[in-house]
Structure 1
Amino acid sequence: MTPAELAEVVLAAAHAVFDERGLDRAALPAQTTVERPRNPDHGDYASTLALQLSKKVGVPPRELAAALAEQLGRAPGIKSVEIAGPGFLNIRLDAAAAGQLARSIVEAGPAYGRSDTLAGQRINLEFVSANPTGPVHIGGVRWAAVGDALSRLLRATGADVGTEYYFNDAGSQIDRFARSLLAAAKGEPAPEDGYGGAYIAEIAAEVVKKRPDVLDLSDDAAQEVFRVEGVQLMFAEIRSSLRDFGVEFDTYFNEKDLHDRGELEQALARLREQGHVFESEGATWLRTTDFGDDKDRVLRKSNGEWTYFAADCAYYLDKRERGFERVVIMLGADHHGYIGRMKAMAACFGDDPARTLEILIGQLVNLVRDGAPVRMSKRAGTVVTLEDLVDAIGVDASRYALARYSSDSPIDIDVELWTRATRDNPVYYVQYVAARTASVNRNAAEVGLTRGDAADFHAELLDHEKENELLKALAAFPSVVAAAAELRAPHRLSHYLEDLAQAYHRFYDNCRILPRGDEEVTDLHRARLWLNDATRVVIANGLRLLGVSAPERM
């Protein structure tokens, strides 16, 4: 019995109690949930339905809980129901009902863990959005791993998600990038405010190869060529490296398009309509202090140039007009100051920022080798890049390591730890279970052991303590996925997978799955093979949500 199936049984019991007592069925929810008690001694599942309903119908919670417990006690698969505290229901399943979860998981396959908890939500999720002036640095890689995992979690819980990379191809940083390329092509030092690193010379050489006449042009004309061609080459490299990392975006949005399509003027007009724009000292301002910002923000300078903040306003409005009800933006550790102004900007458009805008801040990441931080890239010169991280520990370990910690916590990625083939390497520990479950299945086939049909599955035989612990861990997967999505916390899934791996190892060590020698294959062997395969399904599903592989061999 899955948690969702048990929740339906609890709700059915509530309907029966309400009918018996003549209570108003309008007070009953359309659905309910059951949770795992923190203390396993309290039972397999707990329900708070009696507490939720007692005030609505004027029945003391323990009295209502007693009626629900009596009704639930008659339901198939329920071993016992106890009332705790003010009206909690602690439910125990019989072995057969508990064990049937293994069959449900195997039959559901990749669908197990998916739900509709966020159905109806249309979310725009923007992450990475590194400037196309250099390779993706390790901070951006963190958002690549976390953002992609979050998009998978949101979709697994029913949300309609559009992932987006904001391509900053306008502004002063692009001018500095173009000047740096021109200087490298001429064999001159990088400008004082320019970009260094071997990649600049590489891209400059590619531009010259594509446009052999570029150095014959005036500096202004040559700089424009290097701007256009260099940005295209740099962004193509960024997209390629992210693709190799397993991250593809639904939309790559060019900042320059906002300017070319007049969207900044449109955003300004909308803000004027809302009454929050004013002129001062020749510049155009947005009165964000009306909504809690620490100062008002310039939209257009006195010389007529648009500010970055004006582009932020136009981009937010563009997303909202594309039908996204919630805009989620992932930013680096140096962007805390953006939160207040962005929330105030959304309010200036007439939106409720608590509902339409969510900003997540990611903290710093260090790559550590031999106990000391790796300070710079051989190629980028000043930062550690995506390629550096992948070269050091691989794609799977990189994605798992970056998604394993809450994004608001700084992390050190120890090269020695994350390349070690031992249990203290978290990704190895989880992937080893994926490989071991697959190995068990291969070995079972060699000795003639198969699961058989569902009709041959004797779930009641799975009554060992370690089998029950593993079943409980497997049952928690859907709620973990839902919570990780709702709380924007992929690290909860990583921790769950490690706990599940522990539960599987305890089961494997204590419960013989394969027959020994000439031992006859029994229904218990088959039942345990179902449980083994259910574990593989959940491990694979969980790793897939993190963008990590579930190997069959290691």
Structure 2
Amino acid sequence: MTPADLSRTVLRAVRRAVDEGALRAPVPARVRVERTRPGGSGDYACAVALQLAAPAALPALEVAAVLRERVAAEPGVGRVEITGPGFLSFTLDAPAAGDRAVLDAVRDQGLAYGHGDALREEILQFHHAREVRAAVTAHAVRRLVVAQGARVRVSCAEASDPDWARLGVTVDAHGTPPVPLTGIRPVPAGATAGELLERLGPDATRWGLLRPAGHDRAALGPDLLVQGEANPLFRVRYAHARARALTRGAALLGFTSGHDPDGEGPFPYDGAARPLLDLIADHPGVLLAGARHRAPDRVARQLEAVAHAFFDFHDSCPPLPAGDEKPSAAHRARLALAEAAGTVLAGGLSLLGIRAPEHL
């Protein structure tokens, strides 16, 4: 069970409790679950009972008890505890099955892993100034919210800069809107699209404009072109290229990724593999948060974290056998995780409008 699955499970429990008359409160649009902090209980925690206590006119502990019995019966949930003033803490059952579910979801959904329909009811209109960082940010935000099911229209205060097209930017309308629209107002880049494209090219330009939070200055120097670990964009794209190279290397050795077909035995995702798998499991939540907060920088930081965890995993748990070593079930499972990381990196870069080459 992924964090997104658990969130939907808790939301279903709330809706069922309301339908059955056990709670008299409006059903929230979404329920947020978070990884338990150090020293806490269980794998995940949720404050929905505290959120519903006032509208339900019940103590939060009673609301938590109502939800606990409904969530605990769901497949994949091993234990549900009530902690503090009414927090629900979840321990997931069969972690190996949950790990498989995450990797199967990445494999089945491909670059669309993490896309959803949470914003399907929203019709959005964004408006931005005739400035390159505002235009690129609006374009990336459009991609993020569309990936979550929203419909979007983007307008610019003046006619578009022709060079924006070379950055993949499109605008639906120009001029002052008749009614106030949601503005995209990051700190200006201090350069035009043409100047940035000449110095950096489209991919480094988009990364340099999108990686900082909108209120921070964008660093647009030559460091963005450095082919080394100090450059986060290179590190992200190199991790993707390395993941793809592992697949090609495995094919030459005559094996592919996968798990124990009988589902037996310990699942080999621990140690250095665990942080990478956890980041991949959290990826849908990061994409949704980036869409809700109009913050493509969150996606960029997520990709950096995935790339860092990928290299730690790769160095500690090589997916390819060395020397005369025969490919084993462990190698197949490690390769599955490496391929999932590559897919997440490619999908995230695509949402930012940045290419993910298979060779660097």
TM-score > 0.5 by shorter chain? yes
SS at 2:34 equivalent: coil
User: Which residue of 2 is the match for residue 86 of structure 1?
Assistant: 85
1:400 equivalent in alignment to 2:207? yes
User: Which residue of 2 is the match for residue 491 of structure 1?
Assistant: 297
Change over 3 Å in CA distance of 1:113–1:450 after alignment to 2? same
1:245 equivalent in alignment to 2:244? no
| Partner amino acid, structure 2, of 1:50 | A
1:472 Cα deviation after fit:
1.8
SS at 1:46 equivalent: strand
* 8 Å contact from structure 2 (residues 18, 24) kept in 1: no
SS at 2:106 equivalent: helix
| 2:328 pairs with one of 500, 514, 522 | 522
User: Which residue of 2 is the match for residue 216 of structure 1?
Assistant: none
Distance 2:30 2:122 in 1: 20
* 8 Å contact from structure 1 (residues 513, 525) kept in 2: yes
* 8 Å contact from structure 1 (residues 444, 514) kept in 2: yes
1:164 equivalent in alignment to 2:163? no
Distance 2:331 2:308 in 1: 21
SS at 2:75 equivalent: coil
User: Which residue of 1 is the match for residue 344 of structure 2?
Assistant: 538
| Identity score, percent | 33
Change over 3 Å in CA distance of 1:425–1:54 after alignment to 2? same
SS at 1:113 equivalent: coil
Distance 1:496 1:507 in 2: 16
* 8 Å contact from structure 1 (residues 103, 454) kept in 2: no
Residues 58-98 of structure 1: per-residue CA shift (max 9 Å, x gap): 55333443564465445433344343321112223232233
* 8 Å contact from structure 2 (residues 17, 23) kept in 1: no
SS at 2:125 equivalent: strand
Q: How does 1:50-89 map to 2 (within 5 A)?
A: 50-57=49-56, 59-66=58-65, 68-69=67-68, 72-89=71-88
User: Which residue of 2 is the match for residue 105 of structure 1?
Assistant: 106
Residues 317-371 of structure 1: per-residue CA shift (max 9 Å, x gap): 2xxxxxxxxxxxxxxxxxxxxxxxxxxxx5xxxxxxxxx53233332335xxxxx
1:50 Cα deviation after fit:
2.5
SS at 2:295 equivalent: coil
1:4 Cα deviation after fit:
2.7
Distance 1:460 1:78 in 2: 19
SS at 1:401 equivalent: helix
Change over 3 Å in CA distance of 1:55–1:386 after alignment to 2? closer
* 8 Å contact from structure 2 (residues 36, 43) kept in 1: no
Structure 1 residue ranges, 4+ long, deviating more than 6 angstroms after superposition: 15-19, 456-459
Distance 2:15 2:127 in 1: 44
| 1:387 pairs with one of 177, 194, 198 | 194
User: Which residue of 2 is the match for residue 148 of structure 1?
Assistant: 139
* 8 Å contact from structure 1 (residues 122, 160) kept in 2: yes
Change over 3 Å in CA distance of 1:27–1:520 after alignment to 2? farther
Question: What RMSD over aligned residues (CA atoms) do the two structures have, in Å?
Answer: 3.0
| Partner amino acid, structure 2, of 1:242 | W
Distance 1:510 1:486 in 2: 36
1:24 equivalent in alignment to 2:25? no
Residues 281-315 of structure 1: per-residue CA shift (max 9 Å, x gap): xxxxxxxxxxxxxxxxxxxxxxxxxxxxxxx4xxx
| 2:31 pairs with one of 30, 33, 36 | 33
Change over 3 Å in CA distance of 1:539–1:459 after alignment to 2? farther
Distance 1:32 1:516 in 2: 47
Q: Find the structure with the greater CA-based Rg.
A: 1
* 8 Å contact from structure 2 (residues 127, 183) kept in 1: no
User: Which residue of 2 is the match for residue 45 of structure 1?
Assistant: 44
1:450 equivalent in alignment to 2:256? yes
1:57 Cα deviation after fit:
4.5
* 8 Å contact from structure 2 (residues 208, 218) kept in 1: no
Distance 2:16 2:284 in 1: 27
* 8 Å contact from structure 1 (residues 458, 523) kept in 2: no
1:248 Cα deviation after fit:
2.7
Change over 3 Å in CA distance of 1:545–1:16 after alignment to 2? closer
* 8 Å contact from structure 1 (residues 362, 408) kept in 2: yes
* 8 Å contact from structure 2 (residues 36, 45) kept in 1: no
| Partner amino acid, structure 2, of 1:441 | T
User: Which residue of 2 is the match for residue 219 of structure 1?
Assistant: none
SS at 1:476 equivalent: helix
> Which TM-score applies when normalising by structure 1?
0.58
Could you tell me which runs of 5 or more consecutive residues in structure 1 were left unpaired when the two chains were aligned: 130-139, 169-234, 256-311, 318-345, 347-355, 367-383
Distance 1:32 1:144 in 2: 30
Q: How does 1:151-550 map to 2 (within 5 A)?
A: 151-167=142-158, 238-239=161-162, 241-249=163-171, 251-253=172-174, 312=176, 316-317=177-178, 346=179, 357-366=181-190, 384-415=191-222, 417-452=223-258, 461-550=267-356
* 8 Å contact from structure 2 (residues 32, 46) kept in 1: yes
1:10 equivalent in alignment to 2:6? no
Change over 3 Å in CA distance of 1:163–1:13 after alignment to 2? closer
SS at 2:35 equivalent: coil
> Which TM-score applies when normalising by structure 2?
0.86
Change over 3 Å in CA distance of 1:448–1:122 after alignment to 2? same
**Higher mean C-alpha deviation, range 430-439 or range 446-455:** 446-455
* 8 Å contact from structure 1 (residues 77, 96) kept in 2: no
Residues 429-469 of structure 1: per-residue CA shift (max 9 Å, x gap): 11111111111111111112212589567796044033332
Could you tell me which runs of 5 or more consecutive residues in structure 2 were left unpaired when the two chains were aligned: none
1:103 Cα deviation after fit:
0.9
Change over 3 Å in CA distance of 1:531–1:550 after alignment to 2? same
User: Which residue of 2 is the match for residue 116 of structure 1?
Assistant: 117
